[in-house]
Amino acid sequence: MKLDQKFNVENDIASVDIMVTSLGTADLTSEQEKELLANYNKYIEYSKIQFKGNIKLNNGVPEVTTDPKDDSTIVELEITDVTNERKLINEDLAFHFERDVTKYPDTVLNTVLDKKELYAQAQCVLFATKVKEAVTEKLAEIRALNNTFEGTTEYTL
C-alpha cells in the first residue's frame, strides 16, 4: 500500500490529508493486496492511537523525533481533542486533520513552537506520523494472516 500525504496552509488553517494512492508491495500485486484487505477487515480507531510525541524543528519545519525532550530544541506535544473515528483499511482509506491557527491561546507556545502557525503545523505532523504508524501496524497484522488456506482442492476417493 502506498500513501500520499499532503500538508497545506490556507487562511490560517494548517491541514494534512493522507490517502491511498495504490495497493501492492514487493511481494503482493495490487489485486492480491486488495483481496487480502477484503478478507480481513481491520480498522484504524483514533481512540486507540496515542497522539503524543516529541517535536523538533528541521530547517524551521516541525518533525517528530525519537530524541528525548529537552525543552530547548525538542518539546513534547500531545493532541487530546481528536474526535474518534473508525476507518476500514482498504483502497479508499483516507484521513484529514486540520487546525485553525487563530483558535490557539498564547499559552500553547513554548521555546520550540514559538508561533501559533508552527504549533498547528506540528500537530498536523504528529497526527500524520501517528496515523501512518497505526496503518503500518494494521497492515502487518493483515499480511501475517496471508496463507494458503483459501482455494479448492480436488480429491478422488
- The per-residue pLDDT for 130 is 98
Q: What's CA 140's distance to the chain center, in Å?
A: 15
* Dihedral of alpha carbons 29, 25, 96, 135, sign: positive
By three-state DSSP, how is residue 153 classified? coil
- The per-residue pLDDT for 150 is 67
- The per-residue pLDDT for 27 is 86
Instruction: Specify the pTM.
Output: 0.91
Relative orientation angle of helices 30-39 and 116-144, to the nearest 10 degrees: 90
- The per-residue pLDDT for 71 is 85
By three-state DSSP, how is residue 83 classified? coil
Q: Which residues of the chain fall short of a pLDDT of 50?
A: none
- Please report where in the chains the cell 481533542 appears, as a residue: 81
Q: In this predicted model, what pLDDT tens digit does every residue of 108-131 receive, in sequence order? A: 999 999 999 999 999 999 999 999
C-beta neighbour count of 36 within 10 angstroms: 16
- CA distance linking residue 95 with residue 131, whole number of Å: 8
Q: Are 44 and 87 in contact (CB under 8 A)?
A: yes
Q: Are 33 and 42 in contact (CB under 8 A)?
A: no
Closest CA to 113 of 43, 35, 60, 48: 60
- The per-residue pLDDT for 146 is 80
How far apart are the two ends of the chain, measured CA to CA in Å?
Answer: 43
Share of the chain above pLDDT 70, in %: 97
- Please report where in the chains the cell 488456506 appears, as a residue: 149
